[in-house]
A and B are shown apart, each in its own frame.
Chain A
């Protein structure tokens, strides 16, 4: 099964916190301004569904799931 990587674009992030609610081991929010912090760029197959949901629900499209080659 091919792997995947997660990328976040903090410049787009609006701090909705939906990613943290979906996948708290993968995403966090900066204490000073609530903007996204990526905790795990390679979260593994078990978290794939939650990460995909977080990317889909992100209102600012700041999360990308990139297929590993």
Chain B
């Protein structure tokens, strides 16, 4: 069989593939990993793109400057037309190549340093304890998504930003509006600009009344001296707010459900809570909420795994597939909280790897420790078939998760 270099666009499979199993990514990825780890696909606009389905190419391409991460480029690949509208409205460094990316990102790295995050841990623990108190007082059943998975990251982001908690419902509406696979470009662009406008107003308020929070520190150090514009800062704040909500929320929801589905693994974790850190890495690998990222576009013709990628072709580094790479993770479809899964790419790889990964880890360590310590008998309060999964989102998760104890 000759290799398909994707010359006949209409003969290529349409991407994204539909997800049908809540616990496993689409079967096409496993097939691609076996047959053709760098696989050509067709996007909604008839653009050719290549799926990187194994960890080796995922890592090499995301280190390779022949591939650009500039969202503003006209040939930057997207899964929907609405996503294009969002990409073109994105002005923060998530959508920039170096050196511009590094210039902006370095103003924020210290806010997410390992020590800063460790220092934040007691606050995250206090927030989690308070939410679990409320669940306990209300009594079973609870919706773990509304009562914990959505609220905890929202409160932590309020802490970081020094923003009023009353605003969090609005922020989440803007954040969630971004990831639907069925929204119109107009809806997508509006929710994006609404959140930036909210952040711009918050920056003005912090400038008038500084406090001990990230916004006030960045204003004092970079905005007032003129290194960072107020509008640039608003774009970055909106990016951080969006990134800080949905992903962690869905890891908490699906991660808990995955543990319910693997009672022997859950029993191990409950018996030895010191396993939580590696259990969280394994859950990050197994769940992989972000479905269709990171993305790049080829700046020149590149030969990869015997395939001819042409200038202007899109690239999807498929994290859910790389995290099931048999070469990196033996028996990858099996959940094993005893394995070292730390090489997973749920936070991406390369210069754009998640800025908030340290914060996400602390939130997840705290949740998966405190939740089962508080409710050792926690279990699903409905049939699995009745759990509403987010098959229509670029970030996989559940809309609700009824639990009892």
Q: Is the CB of A61 within 8 A of B358?
A: no
Instruction: Decide if A43 is an interface residue (CB 8 Å cutoff).
Output: no
Q: Is the CB of A20 within 8 A of B353?
A: no
Q: Is the CB of A15 within 8 A of B112?
A: yes
Which residues does chain B contribute within 8 Å of A34, judged by CB atoms? 106, 109-113
Interface residues contributed by chain B, number (CB under 8 Å): 23
Complex: A12 Cα to B351 Cα, angstroms: 8
Q: Considering the complex, which residues of chain A in the window 1-58 have a beta carbon less than 8 Å from any beta carbon of chain B?
A: 14-18, 20-21, 24, 29-35, 53, 56-57
A43 to chain B, nearest CB (A): 17
List the A residue with the shortest CB-CB distance to B106.
A33
Q: A53-B342, A59-B351 are in contact. Are A17 and B106 (CB under 8 A)?
A: no
Q: Is the CB of B353 within 8 A of A14?
A: yes
Complex: A16 Cα to B114 Cα, angstroms: 8
A14 to chain B, nearest CB (A): 5
Q: A16-B357, A21-B114, A21-B358 are in contact. Are A35 and B343 (CB under 8 A)?
A: no
Of A16, A18, A24, A61, chain B has the most CB atoms within 10 Å of the CB of A16
Which residues does chain B contribute within 8 Å of A16, judged by CB atoms? 353, 357-358
**Residue from B115, B347, B349, B350 within 8 A of A20 (CB atoms):** B115
Complex: A39 Cα to B348 Cα, angstroms: 27
List the B residue with the shortest CB-CB distance to A27.
B114
Q: A17-B114, A29-B113, A33-B110 are in contact. Are A59 and B348 (CB under 8 A)?
A: yes
**A-B residue pair count with CB separations less than 8 angstroms:** 61
Complex: A21 Cα to B112 Cα, angstroms: 13
Q: A29-B115, A53-B342, A57-B342 are in contact. Are A14 and B348 (CB under 8 A)?
A: no
Instruction: Decide if B117 is an interface residue (CB 8 Å cutoff).
Output: yes
List the B residue with the shortest CB-CB distance to A30.
B110
Complex: A17 Cα to B195 Cα, angstroms: 28
A6 to chain B, nearest CB (A): 17
Which residues does chain A contribute within 8 Å of B111, judged by CB atoms? 34
Instruction: Decide if A60 is an interface residue (CB 8 Å cutoff).
Output: yes
List the B residue with the shortest CB-CB distance to A34.
B109
Instruction: Decide if B63 is an interface residue (CB 8 Å cutoff).
Output: yes
Which residues does chain A contribute within 8 Å of B379, judged by CB atoms? none
List the B residue with the shortest CB-CB distance to A59.
B353
Complex: A18 Cα to B109 Cα, angstroms: 12
Instruction: Decide if B105 is an interface residue (CB 8 Å cutoff).
Output: yes
Which residues does chain B contribute within 8 Å of A59, judged by CB atoms? 347-351, 353
**Residue from A20, A32, A57, A61 within 8 A of B343 (CB atoms):** A57
Q: Is the CB of A14 within 8 A of B113?
A: no
Complex: A29 Cα to B358 Cα, angstroms: 13
Which residues does chain A contribute within 8 Å of B353, judged by CB atoms? 14, 16, 59-60
A26 to chain B, nearest CB (A): 13
Complex: A21 Cα to B349 Cα, angstroms: 17
A42 to chain B, nearest CB (A): 22
Complex: A15 Cα to B113 Cα, angstroms: 7
Q: Is the CB of B350 within 8 A of A60?
A: yes
4 additional contacts (CB under 8 A) given A17-B117, A21-B358:
A14-B351, A17-B112, A18-B357, A59-B353
Chain A residues with a Cβ under 8 A of chain B: 14-18, 20-21, 24, 29-35, 53, 56-57, 59-61
Chain B residues with a Cβ under 8 A of chain A: 63, 102, 105-107, 109-115, 117, 342-343, 347-351, 353, 357-358
Q: Can you give 15 contacting A-B residue pairs, CB < 8 Å? A: A15-B110, A16-B358, A17-B358, A18-B357, A20-B115, A21-B114, A29-B115, A32-B110, A33-B109, A33-B110, A35-B106, A56-B343, A59-B350, A60-B350, A60-B353
Question: A-B pairs with the 9 shortest C-beta distances?
Answer: A15-B109, A34-B109, A17-B114, A59-B353, A34-B110, A20-B114, A34-B113, A29-B113, A33-B106
